[in-house]
């Protein structure tokens, strides 16, 4: 079975982003970029499937600027077999990303597509579900366990009340949650080997997809600031303040 | 035009997040219908009919929709969509699973996690873990929206709307429900609790969490946890507060042994009053807290329990 994984290039999770002075977005120039952490989990899961003999090829896909190549190289160094880079400098919204993925799925015929449950920049949590809809495939979102059997998959999902397990026909789309696995670090020899693995580059036009944004960002602002930082010296003072000053207990 | 709100429920009770989604729907100033889908969900439909401000409940009482599987429910919503200019879901795991599938089938964008309705086509939503707020305008004919519950009040339940049956569509074989393991708790539900007491890696073990529970029980609070505490197995996944867990905004949030990483703050920084109990004065949580107690939690928590008792504090 072939597995397609999404690897999005995002602002590193350790960076505290700043809103640009002109309020058009956040500052991304000279900011550390990394693979979306949920996508590292997706790559890791695919590699484990290959190690277990249930997957035979892993294709890592990234969409966006030229620098997405680095993100794909990271996936290749972890253990993906080859990459596909859909090159564009346009803003891609989740519906557009899902349509591009659909076009790639039709070329590649994977048995499973694994995406992150959300990208930590735009926090949309949409792409996987949209892709499943467009393909008419089932979806196993927020997965903390994937068990493959002959013609299907059982996916355990992290839901508000606890855990839910669903059975899915294959092919299917799965999106990863934090507890699915712990991604490995690429070893130096594997980083060297990854340099020789192939990456196909495609233009959006070649996939025949309309990626025009449907949502226009009018402005981006700072959230309301909190005035914190006051200290209390004892639990008694804390109880007194909560009772008589804040009035919340 | 009208708005359709998709009710979340567990088969017997309406999920309170539905009430916040209705309040967001009210901002569109049109009729509001509520869809209740699932077999044997008469009690849910009846509860839904009492939500103030809604026009009618549309009830798809069919086991094909049990557990609100996206593969089954999305086509149903799409079939009803022609009557609506807005389709709203609570931004909980049910809504997040379902809404994008509906949006893609309708070929429209989804607007995630809105915190404000500025105009019928313009919304505010947090991005980058709440470190920035984006104002976005949608050009689509139908707006598919998930609603951040903490940003809208719960609708009251003193109305009486009619319940109209909706015919079920064809069944589907893409997916089926296998089992669930739901956490049972006598404590209030995390996302709607008035007080939340959360523990982090500083708790050091699952057993030590009873110290947090002692405080929670005295305050009538829900218990939460940081990702580090969940990853370490101190508490199950549904306790996680944060960017990629649950978003809470209680009147009082007490963070015990939690450093205050941006991903955690994203889930609780809209709380009215924040208390940090941490031995590290420099921890970001202490910096943003309204009241920071810099102390060893193993000493502070038992002392706090005693001080609450002495002050005669009872759950509200
Ligand atoms: C003000 C503003 C300005 C922006 N400007 C730009 C811009 O100029 N250019 C730009 O590229 N984005 C831009 N974005 C971000 C862009 O809108 C979102 O990243 C996009 O809508 C996808 O949403 P998401 O990644 O949150 O999707 P989610 O649904 O949260 O992503 C889930 C998963 O889908 C997969 N996925 C998503 N996108 C990709 C991808 N590109 N490649 C591979 N896999 C992917 C990944 O597996 C990911 O884990 C901007 C956002 C804002 C708010
Ligand atoms: C993609 C991604 C998503 C994430 N999503 C989330 C999320 O949704 N929610 C979330 O919480 N995190 C999330 N995280 C993790 C986040 O970055 C932090 O790692 C995590 O919040 C840290 O948890 P913590 O504060 O409990 O642990 P730590 O950062 O280790 O802090 C422990 C704190 O306890 C204090 N302490 C220790 N012992 C004592 C003692 N005896 N008495 C008093 N204080 C003590 C320490 O001073 C320290 O401040 C995410 C990370 C990534 C990469």
CB pairs under 8 A between A and B: 270
What's the gap in Å between A82 CA and the centre of ligand 2? Answer: 35
Task: Decide if pLDDT at A123 tops 90.
Answer: no
CA closest to B264 among chain A residues: A13
Q: Do B263 and A178 touch (CB under 8 A)?
A: no
Give B89-117 as a DSSP string. EESSHHHHHHHHHHHHHHT--EEEEE-EE
Span A104-116, mean pLDDT? Answer: 98
Mean pLDDT of B16-31: 97
Task: Give the pLDDT score at A150.
Answer: 80
Query: What is d(CA B229, CA B3) in angstroms, rounded to the nearest whole number?
Result: 40
Whether residue A122 has pLDDT greater than 90: no
Contact A227, B153 (CB under 8 A): no
In chain B, helix, strand, coil percent, each to 5? 35, 30, 40
Give alpha helix (H) positions in B50-187. 70-80, 93-106
- Read off the pLDDT of residues A64-102 as tens digits, 9 standing for 90 and up: 999 999 999 999 999 999 999 999 999 999 999 999 999
Is B83 an 8 Å CB contact of chain A? no
| Per-residue pLDDT at B169 exceeds 90 | no
Residue B1: per-residue pLDDT: 83
SS3 B316: coil
Q: What is the dihedral of CA B226, B229, B233, B234, to 10 degrees?
A: -110
pLDDT of residue A9 exceeding 90, the answer is yes
Produce one character per residue of A54-76: b if its CB has 16 or more CB atoms within 10 Å, e if not.
Answer: bbeebbbbbbbeeebbebbbbbb
For chain B positions 24-63, those within 8 Å of chain A (CB to CB) are: none
Kindly state the DSSP code that residue B239 receives in the 8-state scheme: G
Q: What is the pLDDT of residue A232?
A: 98
- Chain A residues touching residue B227 (CB < 8 angstroms): 178
pLDDT digits (tens, 9 = 90+) for B44-86: 999 999 999 999 999 999 999 999 999 999 999 999 999 999 9
Q: What is the pLDDT of residue A226?
A: 87
**Where in B61-204 does DSSP place strands (E)?**
84-90, 110-114, 116-119, 122-127, 132-138, 143-147, 163-165, 175-182, 195-199
Percent of chain B with pLDDT over 70: 100
**Ligand 1, closest atom to CA A68?**
42
Distance, CA B225 to ligand 2 centroid (Å)? 9
Q: Is B287 helix (H, G, I), strand (E, B) or coil?
A: helix
B177-236 confidence digits (pLDDT tens)? 999 999 888 999 999 999 999 999 999 999 999 999 999 999 999 999 999 999 999 999
Model confidence at B170: pLDDT above 90: no
For an interface test with A, the pick among B75, B150, B151, B180 (most A C-beta atoms closer than 10 Å) comes out as B180
Q: Are A243 and B313 in contact (CB under 8 A)?
A: yes
Spatial distance between the Cα atoms of B42 and B53, rounded to a whole number of angstroms: 20
Q: Which of A112, A102, A110 is nearest to A168 (CA)?
A: A112
Question: Does B105 score more than 90 pLDDT?
Answer: yes
pLDDT of residue A151: 85
Q: Any idea which ligand is nearest the CA of A124?
A: 1
3-class secondary structure, B173 = coil
Output the pLDDT for position A100.
Answer: 98
Please work out, in degrees rounded to the nearest 5, the angle formed at the alpha carbon of residue B96 by the alpha carbons of A146 and B62. Answer: 85
Note if the pTM is more than 0.80: yes
- pLDDT, tens digit, for every residue of A226-242? 889 899 999 999 999 99
In chain A, the residue whose alpha carbon lies closest to the alpha carbon of B138 is A215
Ramachandran assignment for B246, one of left (phi > 0), alpha (psi -120 to 50 degrees), beta (any other): beta
């Amino acid at each position: 079975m072939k597995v397609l994984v999404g690897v999005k290039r995002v602002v590193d999770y350790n960076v505290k982003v700043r809103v640009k002075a002109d309020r058009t977005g956040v500052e991304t120039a000279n900011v550390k970029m990394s693979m979306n952490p949920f996508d590292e989990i997706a790559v890791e899961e695919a590699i484990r499937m290959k190690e277990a003999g249930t997957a035979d090829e892993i294709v890592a896909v990234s969409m966006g600027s030229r620098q997405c190549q680095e993100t794909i190289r990271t996936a290749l160094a972890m253990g993906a077999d080859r990459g596909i880079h859909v090159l564009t400098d346009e803003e891609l919204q989740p519906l557009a990303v899902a349509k591009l993925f659909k076009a790639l799925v039709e070329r590649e015929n994977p048995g499973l597509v694994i995406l992150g449950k959300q990208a930590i920049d735009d926090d949309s949590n949409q792409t996987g579900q949209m892709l499943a809809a467009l393909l008419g495939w089932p979806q196993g979102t927020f997965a903390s366990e994937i068990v493959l059997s002959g013609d299907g998959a059982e996916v355990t999902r992290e839901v508000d009340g606890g855990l839910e397990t669903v059975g899915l026909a294959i092919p299917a789309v799965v999106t990863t949650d934090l507890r699915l696995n712990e991604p490995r670090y690429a070893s130096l020899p594997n980083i060297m080997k990854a340099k020789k693995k192939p990456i196909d580059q495609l233009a959006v036009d070649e996939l025949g997809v309309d990626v025009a944004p449907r949502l226009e960002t009018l402005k981006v602002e700072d959230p309301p600031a909190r005035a914190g930082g006051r200290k209390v010296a004892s639990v008694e003072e804390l109880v007194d303040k909560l009772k008589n000053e804040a009035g919340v207990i | 035009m009208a708005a359709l709100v998709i009710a979340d429920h567990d088969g017997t009770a309406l999920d309170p997040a539905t009430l916040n989604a209705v309040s967001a729907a009210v901002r569109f100033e049109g009729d509001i219908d509520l869809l209740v889908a699932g077999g044997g969900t008469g009690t849910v439909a009846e509860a839904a009919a009492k939500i103030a401000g809604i026009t009618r409940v549309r009830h798809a009482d069919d086991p094909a929709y049990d557990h609100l599987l996206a593969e089954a429910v999305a086509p149903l919503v799409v079939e009803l969509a022609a009557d609506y200019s807005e389709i709203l879901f609570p931004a909980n795991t049910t809504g997040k699973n379902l809404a994008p599938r509906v949006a893609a089938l309708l070929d429209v964008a989804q607007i995630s996690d809105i915190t404000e309705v500025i105009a019928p086509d313009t919304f505010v939503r947090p991005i980058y873990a709440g470190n920035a707020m984006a104002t976005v305008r949608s050009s689509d004919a139908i707006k598919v929206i998930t609603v951040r519950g903490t940003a809208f009040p719960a609708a009251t339940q003193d109305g009486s709307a009619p319940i109209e049956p909706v015919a079920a569509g064809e069944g589907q074989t893409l997916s089926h429900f296998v089992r669930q393991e739901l956490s049972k708790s006598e404590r209030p539900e995390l996302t709607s609790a008035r007080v939340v007491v959360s523990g982090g890696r500083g708790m050091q073990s699952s057993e030590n969490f009873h110290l947090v529970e002692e405080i929670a029980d005295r305050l009538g609070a829900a218990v939460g946890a940081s990702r580090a505490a969940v990853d370490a197995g101190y508490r199950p996944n549904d306790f996680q507060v944060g960017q990629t867990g649950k978003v809470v905004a209680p009147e009082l949030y007490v963070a015990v042994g939690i450093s205050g990483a941006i991903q955690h703050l994203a889930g609780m920084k809209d709380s009215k009053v924040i208390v940090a109990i941490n031995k590290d004065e420099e921890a970001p949580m202490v910096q943003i807290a309204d009241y920071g107690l810099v102390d060893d939690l193993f000493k502070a928590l038992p002392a706090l329990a005693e001080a609450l008792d002495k002050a005669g504090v009872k759950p509200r």
